[in-house]
Amino acid sequence: MTLPQPILVLLLLGLAAEAVPAQQPRETDAQRRERRAMVELIGARGVRDRATLDALRSVLRHEFVPAQYQDQAYADHPLPIGHGQTISQPYIVGYMTEMIRPKPGMKVLEVGTGSGYQAAILAAAGCEAFSIEIFEPLATSARERLNRLKYLVEVRHGDGHFGWPEEAPFDAILVTAAAGFIPPALVDQLKPGGRMLIPVGSVSGVQHLILVQKNDRGQVSTRSLLPVRFVPLLSGNRER
Ligand code: SAH
């Protein structure tokens, strides 16, 4: 069958339109309202850093949350993201981001990419973000999501205990899974004057968020900030 040319052209245009999916991230009025309320709550709980609050206001958290939990995307608690992992509680993301005093151009390493939400917050605050994830499928989906949403973050699949030597040293390091000990490689990869935040403790018991600071002479000190609850920092090679 041959079609008259105008119809053929229209059909082809239709195909072209369908082949290009809607790229623009979308949000409903309700999601915008809920995000504003989430940021207000985080502010009321004591996070005051403007760059951090602006980043929390600008990143569409619902884009990082699985379809079945969309209605809870702006609630102040963690949510499952598969592989037994979670996207962290928004308040903790705000708290940890504020504690590294984010500034444009700062080089920051995150261990535990998960959904990519914390990494997006760092990028939105102007940091140059690098993030390591031990589960290959999570690393791949977070990388794709961050690219689609235009956040400049380098994501690598691997065991974050060893840091990212090729990109070291870092101004700050955020570990978003609970470690049994502070990995020495991460301390090594911190710049003088740098800060690391890492939850330390047992899987089921008490964990404390620890601030590790390296002074200008390279001396390291630690301070316990608050009790937290994170999924464990794993070891080895997790493909699935
Ligand atoms: N920051 C994430 C949430 C972190 S949940 C977000 O914003 O969504 C902790 C993440 O750390 C999980 O995805 C888990 O798979 C990952 N993880 C656990 N052990 C790790 C390790 N040794 N190296 C890198 N990632 C690890």
Predicted TM-score (pTM) of the model is 0.90
Distance 42 CA to ligand 1 centre (A): 22
Q: What is the mean pLDDT of residues 143-147?
A: 98
215: three-class secondary structure by DSSP: coil
The strand pair at 107-111 and 85-87 is best described as: unpaired
Task: Say if ligand 1 is within 6 A of residue 59 CB.
Answer: no
What's the pLDDT band for 1 if we cut at 50, 70, 90? very low
Percent of the chain past pLDDT 70, that is, above it, reads 88
**For residue 16, pLDDT beyond 70:** no
Task: Say if ligand 1 is within 6 A of residue 159 CB.
Answer: yes
pLDDT for residue 22:
53
Q: How far apart are CA 20 and CA 183, in angstroms?
A: 45
Q: Is 235 among the residues known to form the active site?
A: no
pLDDT in tens, 191-202: 999 999 999 998
Nearest-atom index, ligand 1, CA of 114? 13
> Among 88, 115, 131, 141, which one carries the catalytic annotation?
88
What's the pLDDT band for 236 if we cut at 50, 70, 90? confident
Any idea what DSSP says for residue 28? Answer: -
Q: What is the mean pLDDT of residues 54-63?
A: 98
